Amino acid sequence: MNKSPHVLLFPFPAQGHINPLIQFGKRLVSKGVKTTLVTTIYLNSTLSHKNSTTSIEIQAISDGFDEGGYASADSPESYLKAFKEVGSRSLADLIKKLQNEGSNIDAIIYDAFNSWALDVAMEFGIDGGSFFTQACSVNNIYYHVYKGLISLPLSVPVSVPGLPQLECWETPSFVHNYGPYPGWTGIVFNQFANIDQARWVFSNSFYQLEAKVGTITAAIHATPNGTPYWIPQVDDRYLPVVNSTFTHWEDIVMMYNTYATQSGFSTRIGTSKNKKYHDNPNTKISTHRYILCSREGQPRVTESDPNAPSKNAPTIYDKSKKQHRRSRFTVSGCRARIKVRFDRATEQYKIYGFIAAHNHCMIGSDHANMLKQNRKLGFEEQQFIHKVSLNKIGPTVAHNIQASLKGGPQNVRGTTEDFKNCSRDIRAFIVDNELRSFFWADFVSLRNYEAFGDVCAFDATYDTNKYKMIFVPFTGVDHHKKCVIFGAGMLYDETIESYTWLLNTFLAAHKKQPIFVLTDQDASMKQAVSTVFTNSIHRLCMWHIMRKLPSKISNDILDNTTLRSSIHKLVWNLFITPQTFEERWHLLMDEYHLDNHPWLCEMFAIRHEWVPCYFREIPMCCLMKTTSRCESSNARFKVNSSETNTLVQFLMCFETSIDAQRHTQRDLEFKSDMSTPRLSTGLRIEAHASETYTWSMFLEVRKEIYMGMFHCMPIERPGTTDVKNYTVRHCKSNMSYVNEFEVSLNVPEQTVSCTCLGFTRIGYLCRHVFCIFRYHQIERIPSHYIIPRWKRDALPSVVHSVSNIYSSNNSEFAIIHNEIMDLVTQCTTRLRRNPDQLRSLSSEIKRIRNRVFESFPCEPQPRSVQKTANISDILNIPSNLSKSVHPPQGIRNKGCGTKKQRIGPGGQNIKDKRKKVGKRQKAARLCNKCNKYVFDHDSRNCEKIKAAKLAARAAKRDSAIAAGLPASSDSDSDDTDVDLDDTDDDTNDDIDEYNSSDYDASEYPVSMQKAPVPERTHVGRETEQSFEPDQNLRRSTRRRKPSNIARDS
């Protein structure tokens, strides 16, 4: 006869601790476990359990205060001390009593507050389990305090694995209000005193609400020195077993990969030990092999200099040396592994060692598809990449196709990079009313706007659908400096009423107005924005304005003077005041006699709507200055869509583009969490920045810290005891003085201000402030200078949930279908080199198909009905859905285009007229190979063009000598391009370059001297123009057509 196990439940004598253990006891009773609840004598007398129908028995022990309990004690300390001393003896007596009665105890589940109960249980050889009544998040914080990983009292925000950064007041009261209750504080933190000796650890929590915290908390341990390490908590059937044997090596790899996937880490095959045997000396046999955690190993030193720092030393940036692309590493020296030995006698593999502890936390199940072992491409995936490449489909599109077929990128084995690598290896080897308008925004868009909606831009785009409706997406910038969509609308026309309706609908969905609204010069947009967004600042796109410069001003003036560069240099300057801008503008207009130019006068009249210096004191004014991000998003939507699409097809293409955008964001989140950036200065404030900001933003902050450390020189000015004033001089790499800014620091409050207004403009501190912080040995960025939009946890984790992926199909049919297809694929791949067994498998599948068809016959249907049903299933739209909205008709907008040839003034064909006028000569571009501004080549064909020019010169010289004429000298050659000494490649950032021409903080006017008319030289039929460019021409040339990053960083 089998005897049921007997468990003692020993709660701390308080109601909030007793009730959870009673509920746990009811679970045990339902499983057939005999359960006894141990309470104190006083509480037992107050419990009304006589009429209870539960099967939980109750036993009482003494706590030293049998008459009045806790209320009769002099102090909490005296009660806790007596409870430990008297309770230990009384609990031991109870165990002896029950054993004498023949009721042996198999386990004791004790409240973590009663950690001394484990010592009593171990005296009797009984297993003990610690039961935590508080949430995992709270216990996680208490554990870090107990291990000394969090110092009390708190003075800085708290960072705990699995939780976002917490302010002091957000921590439990025993942590942020440390000191008033020493007795309770001691028992709270000493819950973990002997937890390593407990057989089990139970946590009373909602796992779905604290899945990540629960996983990390259950796995975290610490060495005697306080170093944390993680042991994955998985089902016993997945755990590697020492001394277990396997017939094939692949079986061991599959077993450990399954364990790694369940745990949340990646694996890789380690080193092996080979041996030659006497009976077969020509063949090496692997006798020992390791399967390692992918984070095993130390970062490699990339410096070739023999005096380079050691492995663990931070690498300092040096612009004079070539920088390697890998600026972060994924290895951490993890020792987790299994050790396998091959037994030649039995021809089997045996596990002889298993290390389960990791020195890094595990990842959640949402990112399991990105683990290394789950990204390995099988034969079918590789064959698919090759076949689609024959139809002019690249690896990126192939990955998107697989994602669509399998219900989302999370179901695809391998990422886009893996598909690209495989392709490289293969190549190397060989309604009743008419629809007028609608607006769309989902849950993720709302959360994105809530976090990043301080600056918003929108622009209309055309040719996205067959009905010529105008597509208007709302674009912003997320915490990875990537485009993010806040919503999108479709409009019938571009009237003020349509845009007003769209903006009102946008505001109703998002509840708040942005700080900045960025558009082009569309008059309807301007009127609608001023009507709806009354609290927002409407800003016009600078690129749309400056690109009109060639069409508004004479070509002769632009080509033969420095007017273009002078205007660009003036309007893009952020470091001048509006008054200085106006003075320099008038000087510029006077110099070129453009005071009465209509277009320039009009642009000057609305200067407060587009010139950056008028926004320099408004937060986040430099986040976006052009609508180039809107242009980029619109172009991306058109990649997936076509002008022949219906609205349903267009929306599906739009959702595909949104999925790709959000997958990029999710991928960046994963990389930020799973990689450690390489520090360039070794300062603690840089380490704090790496823990706070996302990877993309950390690169920007790290550059500011580096520049503040090596290129800024502080000079102290008179101040007070608390407020320190400095003049910070910015220097180039040769330590030559460039510019200076005033910095004021309030030391007690750690508040700082800088005249460059870097924090105001871009949301993170500038290099001048970091220079002063280093001078005062401030090792952490003050919390009030860390705005939430740039932090790692700017978005809630639910945003990246699989349920928010449009292409995701988690229906029961889709899951089972994918499972069946994967099983069949695995079988066919294993038998691909065995035709006989493959035929047997085919026969077996045919028999299963015939049996299914016999059991579930299909009713015959007309072909049209079956086709409609299939399309309905594909689109997930019911076939009998009533249509109450009809497509719009007769839309004619400025973006619709026309098939008729336009006729210009006087009946002349526009196309013929343009032929007579001729094309405008291209602007000079900088060749990064020869470092010259040229018209006829770039860095890709520089050497080829140079060789052709030399050959032409040699032929000309030979012809002259043959004709008896003097040969031309080298000075007469056509290669008269100007060589520039421009070593600063940081042209895309607002505060990366501090030279006198770009960021002049003085009140002196900009130099506006005319350049001489350029000379032209001719060699054969080639013509090249050479001139002395302005110092800022490289910047101004790029601004004519800015990219997303160049204009909005």
Average pLDDT for residues 263-274, to the nearest whole number?
86
**Between 933 and 418, the higher pLDDT residue:** 418
> What pLDDT score does 914 carry?
43
- DSSP letters, 190-251, are GGGTTGGG-SEEEE-S-TTTSHHHHHHHHHEEE-TT--EEE-----GGGS--TT-EESSHHH
Give the confidence band of 656 by pLDDT, cuts at 50, 70, 90.
confident
Compute the CA torsion angle 904, 910, 913, 919 (nearest 10 deg): 130
- The residues near 420 (Cβ < 8 Å, ≥ 6 apart) are 395, 396
Cα-based distances in Å from 668 to 263, 421, 482, 609? 22, 20, 10, 34
User: Taking CA 980 as the corner, what is the angle to CA 942 and CA 992, rounded to the nearest 5 degrees?
Assistant: 110
Query: Would you give the distance in Å from CA 866 to the centre of its chain?
Result: 44
Strand partners of residue 474: 458, 487
Average pLDDT, the chain: 77
Query: Would you give the distance in Å from CA 494 to the centre of its chain?
Result: 36
Burial (CB count within 10 angstroms: exposed 0-12, middle 13-18, buried 19+), residue 550: middle
> What pLDDT score does 910 carry?
40
> What pLDDT score does 906 carry?
37
Maximal C-alpha separation, the chain: 129
> What pLDDT score does 890 carry?
65
> What pLDDT score does 292 carry?
92
Phi and psi at 261, nearest 5°, equal -65, -45
544, 625 Cβ separation under 8 angstroms? no
pLDDT for 819-862, tens place per residue? 888 888 889 888 888 888 988 999 998 888 888 877 776 655 55
pTM: 0.54
149-153, 243-247, 414-418, 743-747: segment of lowest average pLDDT: 149-153
170-179, 333-342, 488-497, 500-509: segment of lowest average pLDDT: 170-179
Which CB contacts under 8 angstroms, 24+ apart, belong to 151-160?
152/178, 153/178, 153/179, 154/178, 156/780, 157/783, 159/691
- Residue 721 corresponds to which tokens in the numbers above? 């005891």
341, 705 Cβ separation under 8 angstroms? no
708, 767 Cβ separation under 8 angstroms? yes
> What pLDDT score does 20 carry?
86
**Strand, coil or helix: what is 657?**
helix
Residue 503 has pLDDT above 90, yes or no: yes
pLDDT for 55-102, tens place per residue? 788 888 888 888 888 888 888 888 888 888 888 889 888 888 888 888
pLDDT for 859-917, tens place per residue? 555 545 554 565 555 555 565 655 566 667 767 666 555 444 443 333 344 444 444 44
Separation of alpha carbons 152 and 400, rounded Å: 51
> What pLDDT score does 494 carry?
86
Question: Checking phi first, is residue 832 left (phi over 0); if not, alpha (psi -120 to 50) or beta?
Answer: alpha
pLDDT for 703-728, tens place per residue? 999 999 888 989 888 888 889 999 99
> What pLDDT score does 744 carry?
93
Phi and psi at 104, nearest 5°, equal -70, 145
Residue 1011 has pLDDT above 50, yes or no: no
Give the confidence band of 474 by pLDDT, cuts at 50, 70, 90.
very high
User: Taking CA 724 as the corner, what is the angle to CA 720 and CA 727, rounded to the nearest 5 degrees?
Assistant: 130
